[in-house]
């Protein structure tokens, strides 16, 4: 308990709008749970009844919910239809549904043919998997998500400088964080080409990062370009970076002037490769519908046999009266849905009512849910010469 007037750290986990239960508020003894809930990557189980989580919706559809969002970029990424399709195929390859025997995953997999998610956002936690084969409610399954192996950030990159300088420029050097901010380094001198365009190519093993730099036309800051903040060179994912700049010198070059000697060469050092670790897959045991629906007779009956079978009186030789057929209701234990797929099956002997014959005549009702679970209920029409008074 927290005393009035005291101060205690409280962390609130974003679980979306509409959560009024306060089960996302962590403090005191529950504070360590916040880190697990907020930062660990796992499947959120949820439940079918709540309509959110990780479970088999039916034999061909699996709902999944992850604890952390996956970036899709479907809104701000300006993806083409081909890129979107490629991303979906990539996501399908990350998921798998495998059969589990005695608590161990087998190599028996259920194919995933389609994946759906919110395409009107740039990230999502929820993915709906469409399966190519039926799940078998008599078996156990596991849903697995394998995050992709991170790419090696350090790769060979070529930086090409293409600089347009004023006519009469004697030389152009790059100087910056790439080479220690020493002006006039010999191997950072550009080569003059046509139309006063100077070029230089530098190749090194580099990770994504930013470099700051400027240009000078002689080995001294006295001969730097006229520019305010430093220029910024951004190394992204691409292997080739082309830098196109136009310079204006702070002090114009003078024909025949003598300039300081060039500085010794400085090689842009290769970065060491980063150790790449493939993430461990996460998994969850798949919740299936394993219960047959409940079939309940709601009508008042005339009595029950010693075996507990309800019976309804019907007079001998009478015509069939539809109102005598008992009312019933079916409820699926798993999702609470009511189904009307109740019938008297053709493959049972308990399907014919003969009012000409005295005695008990059984009728069988059968209901089958989406998973193939079957419930059968038998009741009796008791044919009598005279219906007893109640």
The residue behind tokens 């974003």 is: 14
Which residues neighbour 15 within 8 Å (Cβ) at sequence distance 6 or greater? 23, 24
Short-list 151, 145, 149, CA closest to 67: 145
For residue 112, list its beta bridge partners: 131
Per-residue pLDDT reduced to its tens digit, 267-287: 999 999 999 999 999 999 999
> For residue 298, what pLDDT band results from cuts at 50, 70 and 90?
confident
DSSP one-letter string for 207-239: -SEEEEEEEESSSSGGGBBS-SSPEEEEE-S-S
- Give residue 311's pLDDT: 92
Please give the Cα distance from 67 to 53 (Å, whole number): 10
Per-residue pLDDT reduced to its tens digit, 227-260: 999 999 999 999 999 999 999 999 999 998 999 9
Sorted by where each starts, the structural domains of the chain and their CATH numbers stand as 40-145 (2.60.40.1130), 155-246 (2.60.40.10), 294-384 (2.60.40.10)
**Which parts of 27-154 are beta strand (E)?**
46-47, 52-53, 55-58, 61-71, 95-101, 104-110, 112-116, 123-131, 140-145
**Predicted TM-score (pTM) of this structure:** 0.69
Which residues neighbour 311 within 8 Å (Cβ) at sequence distance 6 or greater? 301, 302, 303, 304, 305, 360, 379, 380, 381, 382
Q: Residue 75 pLDDT > 80, yes or no?
A: yes
Q: Average of pLDDT values for 324-334?
A: 82
Q: Residue 11 pLDDT > 90, yes or no?
A: no
Per-residue pLDDT reduced to its tens digit, 18-44: 566 677 788 777 877 777 777 788 998
Question: Residue 1: which H helix or E strand, with range?
Answer: none
Please give the Cα distance from 37 to 22 (Å, whole number): 14
């Amino acid at each position: 308990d927290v005393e009035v007037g005291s101060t205690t750290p409280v962390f609130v986990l974003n679980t979306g709008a509409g959560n009024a239960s306060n089960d996302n508020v962590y403090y005191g003894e529950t504070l360590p749970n916040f880190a697990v809930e907020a930062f660990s990557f796992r499947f959120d189980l949820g439940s079918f009844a709540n309509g959110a989580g990780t479970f088999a919706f039916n034999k061909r559809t699996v709902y999944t919910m992850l604890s952390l969002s996956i970036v899709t970029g479907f809104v701000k990424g300006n993806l083409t239809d081909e890129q979107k399709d490629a991303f979906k195929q990539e996501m399908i390859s990350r998921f798998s549904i495998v059969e589990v025997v005695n608590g161990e995953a087998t190599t028996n997999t259920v194919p995933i043919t389609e994946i759906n998610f919110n395409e009107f956002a740039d990230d999502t936690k929820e993915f709906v998997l469409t399966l190519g084969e039926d799940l078998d409610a008599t078996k156990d399954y596991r849903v697995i998500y394998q995050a992709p192996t991170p790419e090696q950030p350090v790769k060979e990159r070529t930086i090409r400088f293409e600089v347009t300088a004023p006519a009469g420029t004697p030389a152009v050097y790059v100087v910056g964080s790439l080479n220690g901010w020493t002006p006039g380094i010999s191997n950072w001198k550009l080569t003059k080409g046509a139309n006063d365009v100077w070029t230089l190519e530098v190749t090194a093993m580099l990770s994504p990062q930013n470099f700051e730099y400027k240009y000078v036309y002689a080995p001294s800051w006295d001969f730097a370009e006229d520019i305010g903040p430093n220029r910024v060179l951004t190394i992204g994912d691409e292997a080739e970076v082309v830098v196109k700049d136009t310079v204006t010198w702070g002090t114009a070059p003078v024909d025949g002037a003598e300039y300081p000697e060039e500085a010794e060469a400085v090689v842009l050092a290769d970065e060491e490769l980063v150790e790449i670790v493939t993430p461990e897959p996460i998994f969850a045991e798949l919740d299936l519908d394993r219960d047959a629906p409940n079939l309940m007779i709601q009508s008042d009956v005339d009595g029950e046999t010693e075996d507990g079978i309800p019976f309804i009186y019907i007079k001998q030789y009478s015509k069939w009266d539809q109102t005598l057929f008992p009312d019933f209701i079916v409820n699926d234990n798993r999702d609470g849905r009511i189904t009307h797929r109740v019938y008297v099956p053709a493959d049972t002997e308990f399907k014919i009512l003969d009012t000409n014959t005295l005695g008990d005549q059984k009728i069988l009702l059968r209901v089958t849910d989406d998973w193939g679970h079957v419930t059968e209920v038998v009741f009796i029409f008791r044919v009598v010469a005279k219906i007893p008074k109640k």
